[in-house]
């Protein structure tokens, strides 16, 4: 079934012209068509102006089954949230309250809270509970405009519970109406039983966990938290070499709490993305430029744990491909709303609206190797887009803190209508 949208006040195509990711300056060109029109079935067939669409209707070139007058709304590609931890159990609002009274994220972690608090809850939870929690957050993300998403394990920290988490993600791949990619993050923290023998836990990851995950095809990527107080560069490198040998591709939590040269590790190991990067050094930026590694920025985390924002302007000026994602998790950033992330990116990281949109769509898709089939509105790509109740894309940033998404379309089907 073919549908034609007409009278789109602002149609943002994020035209990639066939590029799988977009670097630095080029991120400013989002291919906006004013008074636009869009023809699609499950894929995008054509984009242009309403006048061109009118002519094609008259000449019989377009014979859509349905014509919808969008009445001056904005259409942009659906957001691709390439970094989340939405499968979890338990509640850490008590930690948040402590942080509001002055405790830092690291202080809470060193008292046995933080990631390990969620590990305790996940170990006790059933797979059904994990699926239900993840499903509810993912559906809320979709209502806020997300049309593809990555989900990480990392709150099991032993073979049985990491597999349980990945099986929950596998189930979510089946039941959610959007594309999901899964990431094994057994190296998220050290479990309490390996507190004083960290290298032995790295042995367990390399000798038992990664081979099981690869054999059961439970993950698309392997990630590790290489940072001060967590995994060292050497431990990260060992894990990554094993993962690569087993056919898994790499992502990395890099330089979030301090500069430990994790960005350079990501570049050296050809990771698809290095994420966070609050404390990235100039050398790290240079190495990522050389390798073309995507810099996935998560400004919600800097906001939520009151840390300095990553140097987005410097990265863009140096020509990196920047992506934006939520990092949605119960400790360091509890939001599944990509619109909030865009607002933080433009106000606090000084990205332009155009750069932020490219980062949250095409480059997010690239960070999950999906940009050949989504992330922009170009003929042949999946018809994944959102209709916003605004007359220009700038209003998504200008009128902040509300949900502008009135409709979410995935593969040409309307999934959500928000009233």
Residues that bind ligand NIG (CB under 6 A): 85, 114-115, 118, 225, 253, 256, 301, 327, 329-332
Q: Which does 84 bind (CB under 5 to 8 A by kind): Fe ion, ligand NIG, none?
A: none
Q: Between 313 and 332, how does the x/- string for binding to Fe ion read (CB under 5 A)? A: --------------x-----
Cβ atoms of 243 and 216 within 8 Å: the answer is: no
Residues 353, 337 contacting (CB under 8 angstroms): no
On the CB side of 81, how many CA atoms lie within 13 Å of its CA?
Answer: 32
Whether residue 226 contacts residue 267, with contact meaning beta carbons closer than 8 Å, is answered with no
Q: Binds 332, which of ligand NIG, Fe ion, none (CB < 5 to 8 A, cut-off by type)?
A: ligand NIG
Question: What's the closest the beta carbon of residue 256 comes to Fe ion, in angstroms?
Answer: 8
Residue nearest to ligand NIG (CB): 331
User: Closest separation between CB of residue 183 and ligand NIG, Å?
Assistant: 11
Contact 2, 64 (CB under 8 A): yes
Task: Residue 205: name the closest of 249, 237, 175 by CA.
Answer: 237
Q: Which residues make Cβ contacts (< 8 Å) with residue 46, sequence separation at least 6?
A: 38, 39, 62, 379
- Of the pair 108, 353, the CB lying nearest ligand NIG is at 108
Interatomic CA distance for residues 181 and 217, integer angstroms: 12
Dihedral sign for Cα atoms in the order 223, 229, 232, 238: negative
Whose CA is closest to 80, among 364, 335, 345, 321? 364
Nearest approach in angstroms of CB 20 to ligand NIG is 25
Cβ proximity to Fe ion, 22 vs 151, nearer residue:
151
- The residues in 390-419 that bind Fe ion, with binding defined as CB under 5 A, are none
Considering CB distances under 5 to 8 angstroms, the limit depending on partner class, which of ligand NIG, Fe ion, none binds residue 183? none
Q: Which is nearer to Fe ion, 150 or 327 (CB)?
A: 327
The token pair at 398 is 């200008």
* Residue 301 interface partner, choices ligand NIG, Fe ion, none, CB cut-off 5-8 Å depending on type: ligand NIG
Range 105-109 contact pairs with CB under 8 angstroms and sequence separation of 24 or more: 105/305, 105/331, 105/332, 106/229, 106/257, 109/229
331 binds, among Fe ion, ligand NIG, none (CB under 5 to 8 A by kind): ligand NIG
336 binds Fe ion (CB under 5 A): no
Q: What length is written for the chain?
A: 419
Q: How far is the CB of 118 from ligand NIG (least distance, A)?
A: 5
For ligand NIG, the closer of residues 262 and 315 by Cβ is 262
CB of 228 to ligand NIG, least distance (A): 11
Q: How far is the CB of 99 from ligand NIG (least distance, A)?
A: 11
128, 176, 281 from 216: Cα distances, Å: 19, 21, 38
> Which lies closer to Fe ion via its Cβ, residue 336 or residue 382?
336
Of 284 and 331, CB closest to Fe ion? 331
| DSSP summary character for residue 385 | E
Q: How far is the CB of 275 from Fe ion (least distance, A)?
A: 6
Please answer whether residues 269 and 240 qualify as being in contact, where contact means their C-beta atoms are separated by less than 8 angstroms. Answer: yes
Name 221's bridge partners: 183, 249
Would you say 16 or 301 has its CB closer to Fe ion? 301
Give the footprint of Fe ion on this chain (CB under 5 A): 327
């Amino acid at each position: 079934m073919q549908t034609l949208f007409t009278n789109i006040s602002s149609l943002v195509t994020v035209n990639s012209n066939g590029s799988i990711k977009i670097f630095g300056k080029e991120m400013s060109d989002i291919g906006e068509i004013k008074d636009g029109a869009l023809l699609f079935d499950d894929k995008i067939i054509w984009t242009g102006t309403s006048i061109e669409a009118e002519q094609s209707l008259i000449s019989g070139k377009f014979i859509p089954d349905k014509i919808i007058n969008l009445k001056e709304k904005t259409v942009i590609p659906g957001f691709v949230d390439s970094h989340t931890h939405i499968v979890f159990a338990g509640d850490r609002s008590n930690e948040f309250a402590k942080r509001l009274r002055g405790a830092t994220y690291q202080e809470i972690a060193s008292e046995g809270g933080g990631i390990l608090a969620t590990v305790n809850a996940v170990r006790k939870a059933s797979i059904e509970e994990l699926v239900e929690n993840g499903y509810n957050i993912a559906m809320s993300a979709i209502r806020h405009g997300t049309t593809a998403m990555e989900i990480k394990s990392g709150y099991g920290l032993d073979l049985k519970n990491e597999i349980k988490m990945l099986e929950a993600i596998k189930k979510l791949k089946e039941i959610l109406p959007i594309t999901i990619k899964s990431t094994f993050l057994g190296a998220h923290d050290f479990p309490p039983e390996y507190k004083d023998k960290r290298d032995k836990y790295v042995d367990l990851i390399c000798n038992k966990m990664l081979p099981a995950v690869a054999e059961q095809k439970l993950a698309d990527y392997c990630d590790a938290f290489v940072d001060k107080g967590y995994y060292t560069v050497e431990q990260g490198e060992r894990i990554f070499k094993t993962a690569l040998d087993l056919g898994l591709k790499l992502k990395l939590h890099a330089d979030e709490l301090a500069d430990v040269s994790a960005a350079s590790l990501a570049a050296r190991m050809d990771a698809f993305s290095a994420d966070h990067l609050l404390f990235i050094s100039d050398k790290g930026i240079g190495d990522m430029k050389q390798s073309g590694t995507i810099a996935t920025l998560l400004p919600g985390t800097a906001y939520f744990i009151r840390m300095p924002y990553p140097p987005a302007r410097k990265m863009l000026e140096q020509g990196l491909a920047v992506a934006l994602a939520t990092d949605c998790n119960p400790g360091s950033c509890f939001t599944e709303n990509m619109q909030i992330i865009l607002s933080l990116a433009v106000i606090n990281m000084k990205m332009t609206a155009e750069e932020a949109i490219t980062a949250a769509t095409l480059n997010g898709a690239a960070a999950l190797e999906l940009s050949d089939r989504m992330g922009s509105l170009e003929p042949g790509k999946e018809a994944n887009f959102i209709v916003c109740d605004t007359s220009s894309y700038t209003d998504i940033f200008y009128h902040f803190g509300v949900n502008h998404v009135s409709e979410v379309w995935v593969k040409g089907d309307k999934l959500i209508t928000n009233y």
